[in-house]
Amino acid sequence: MNLVAIDIGNSSIKVALYCNDEEKWLRVIPGDQSLEKTLRQTLIEAWDSIPLSKAAAEPVRDGILAVSSVKPVWTELVEKLAREELGEKVFLIGRDIPLPIETSVDNPLEVGTDRLVAAAAAFAVVEDAVVVADFGTAVTIDLVDENGVFLGGTISPGFEMAAKALHENTAKLPPVTMAKPISPNGASTEEAIRSGLYYSAVGLLETICRKFAEQMGRWPQVILTGGGASLIKEDCEFVDSYVPNLAVRGIVIAYKKYLYEKAEIEQFEREDKPKWTPKSPKKKTP
């Protein structure tokens, strides 16, 4: 399988190239002024690396562009670049590719596909109840039960969003760049803010995991992902794994599941289709 997996977040876009099911590279494109230029170059490079189809009469790439997105304006940009630069359409999870995991939430289509593909990727590995904690622009902590059903979770501000809110909604608190605090008791205002945000995140994750465990009757496995997760993982002894780009892997799983289910449906339709048996012509009576 050849695939360009595109994970559109709120602050950046991740593009990963998969050829013959193997990840060749992954790029993180910041959402700054050079986004469109860098994204165009990255998509062209990725698509040019997809091998040509041996079965096609004319040269065509044997792959697709699969997208998970939580930012519609960037989705439109990716679709525009794919159409204009590559002559291709993108396959959007939730629109062209079905959601990769069963849910028990009120409206599955309102859940960010980043959460759902990450949950699907986590369950595919664990094959048991699992908590997926994604520390990005926002912090999402989601629960998947032992049957692989997405049960929902919590959403709270990420480090940068929280720090910005403190600065913009107070008279004297300064802007800070997030880093691991030197100690819990910050000796300066900046360190006090870092300490507050850092240990709030650690405490939130531990508390939510404990609440999930009480609800289930046992402690589920916990997987950390997202850019901010690397900051706190050392102080989270209850976490089992840290997987930086879990959502990208989830895009691959979503597309593979779509292909598998599509093949099953086509096979069923072939087997269920009534077979036509020609009738012998009636003999005329002389």
Structure tokens at 154: 């919590």
Q: What is the DSSP string of 222-258?
A: EEEESTTHHHHGGG-TT--EE-TTHHHHHHHHHHHHH
Q: Is 235 a catalytic residue?
A: no
List the structure tokens of 53: 């189809």
Contact criterion met (CB below 8 Å) for 250 and 68 = yes
What is the distance between the alpha carbons of residues 74 and 35, in angstroms, rounded to a whole number? 10
3-class DSSP state of 43: helix
| Cα–Cα distance measured from residue 88 to residue 184, given in angstroms and rounded to the nearest whole number | 52
Considering the candidates 7, 21, 48, 114, report the single residue annotated as catalytic: 114
From the number of C-beta atoms within 10 Å of its C-beta (0-12, 13-18, 19+), residue 220 rates as: buried
| Rounded Cα distance, 265 and 33, in Å | 45
**Are 142 and 136 in contact, with CB atoms under 8 Å apart?**
no
The three-point CA angle 132-164-247 to 5° equals: 25
Query: Comparing C-alpha atoms, which of 41, 57, 46, 44 is closest to residue 18?
Result: 46
Let me know how many helices (H) and strands (E) the chain has, helices first: 7, 11
What span, in angstroms and rounded, lies between the C-alpha atoms of 187 and 142? Answer: 35
- Residues with catalytic function: 114
